[in-house]
Chains A and B, each alone.
Chain A
Amino acid sequence: MRSERLKGHLDLLLLSVLSRGPGHGYEVITRLRDRSGGTFELPEGTVYPALHRLEEGGLLASAWDVVSGRRRRIYRLTTAGEAALAAESTQWREFSGSVARVLGTPAAVTPWRPGRRAVTA
């Protein structure tokens, strides 16, 4: 998937990835890639400004720790981050459901009958 398209949803994806447990930057990008089945490929460095922005916004908190002999910054979801993730997830499901209906996924297709005029808004 094009990274430009992904960037618009990066905050939601990062919050979701970290809702499964704390992790450092490399872990976050690895989980994101694994959970998307390799679909979400973006320049790995772009997660850092997003993580820092989410921390400044109080949705994430971080602490330094030594893991596998290397000093790392471990991010975790805050209570505000959990609430934001729940709200954003709901909005995303509503939005993606609407898009699916407009695009005409099988479940949302209304059979077209000849003689019926299209109604325009």
Chain B
Amino acid sequence: MSGRTADSPADPIEDYLDRLFVTLSGSPRQVRHTLAEVEAHLRDAAEEGIAAGVAEPEAQAQAVARMGPVSGVTGPVPALARPSLALARRLTLTAALVGGAGFLAIGAAGLVGRILLAAKGAAFLTAPWPAGSYTRADCADWLAGDRGTHSCVAAMLSDHVGDFLLEATAAGLLGLIALAAYLVLRQRWRDRSTLTALPAGTAEALGAVLAGLAAVACLGQAVNTEMIRRGVGAGEPWSLAAAAAVAAIAFALALRRARRRSATA
């Protein structure tokens, strides 16, 4: 018995495997397999030395020396393992996840807006512009788009509500496309260098912070509108605040899961 613990930093074989682990590129499975192979090799070589009468620490050091530098085991560094490319891929994944979730949240806000529109009417969802801030030509345009009314204000509200719901729907579709792209790319870029280019949970933390800030800002605007305009036009910020809050909670839960995974890895 050597008397050392399994985590002893003085174990040459463990030290070598640590260095190899942080240097190897490739899929997680390739990394695990190479580590297992090299460890078996080093233990065999050390046992051979011990059988020949060499003391254990010396036999381990000799086994490591014969194995050669870690770069010999990893071989030539493939283009995939270049830090710049791995980082670019990781940043792309992060942008696709955070951006996709953000756009999807705006799409969800559109759905909340539709509910509020049905429940409380167009004037709750968007506020009419103040009198004097629009022209007769604006009015004519709005009325042309809403044949069912002769009121300029009603036509304006209908136009603004339509714009909000259309933009929200478009954002939602864009979010779905971005998230689909994220899932496809994440499946393709499962090499270790990409997975470890940023600390675990970076995308989730970024998403939680951005969505949380958006939720607070929209909530503030909604409360302000409720107090000053007695709710006229508060529906849009309320719906955005609700969707952003849900996104922030989802990101926070994902962050907690990522940190737990990282801690047990």
Contacts and interface: CB of A to CB of B under 8 A. Distances in A.
A72 B40 contact: yes
A43 interface: yes
B67 interface: yes
Interface residues of A, number: 17
A24 B43 contact: no
Contacts of B69: 43, 45
B40 A71 contact: yes
Contact of A26 (B44, B70, B72): B44
B33 interface: yes
Nearest to A43: B68
Interface residues of B, number: 20
B34 interface: yes
B45 A44 contact: yes
B248 to A, nearest CB: 44
Q: Which of A48, A49, A73 has the most CB of B within 10 A?
A: A48
B261 interface: no
Nearest to B71: A45
A49 B41 contact: no
B146 to A, nearest CB: 65
Contacts of A93: none
Per DSSP, are chain A's interface residues mostly helix, strand or loop, or mixed? Answer: helix
B36 A45 contact: no
Interface string A9-49: 00000000000000011100100000000000011111011
Interface residues of chain B: helix, strand, loop or mixed (majority)? helix
B37 interface: yes
Given A44-B45, A49-B74, A72 B68 contact: no
Interface string B53-74: 0000000000000111110111
A45 B38 contact: yes
A43 B37 contact: no
A71 B38 contact: no
A44 B41 contact: yes
A70 B43 contact: yes
B34 A48 contact: yes
Contact of B37 (A24, A42, A53): A24
A121 B137 CA distance: 92
B36 A43 contact: no
B154 to A, nearest CB: 69
A43 B44 contact: no
Interface string A66-94: 00001111000000000000000000000
A46 B41 contact: no
A53 B41 CA distance: 18
A25 to B, nearest CB: 5
Counting chain B CB atoms within 10 Å of each CB, which of A24, A26, A72, A73 scores highest?
Answer: A26
B250 to A, nearest CB: 40
11 contacts: A24-B40, A26-B40, A29-B41, A42-B68, A43-B67, A48-B37, A48-B38, A48-B73, A48-B75, A72-B37, A72-B40
Interface of B: 33-34, 36-38, 40-41, 43-45, 66-70, 72-76
Among all A-B residue pairs, the 8 with the closest Cβ atoms: A43-B68, A49-B75, A45-B73, A45-B72, A46-B72, A26-B44, A45-B67, A26-B41
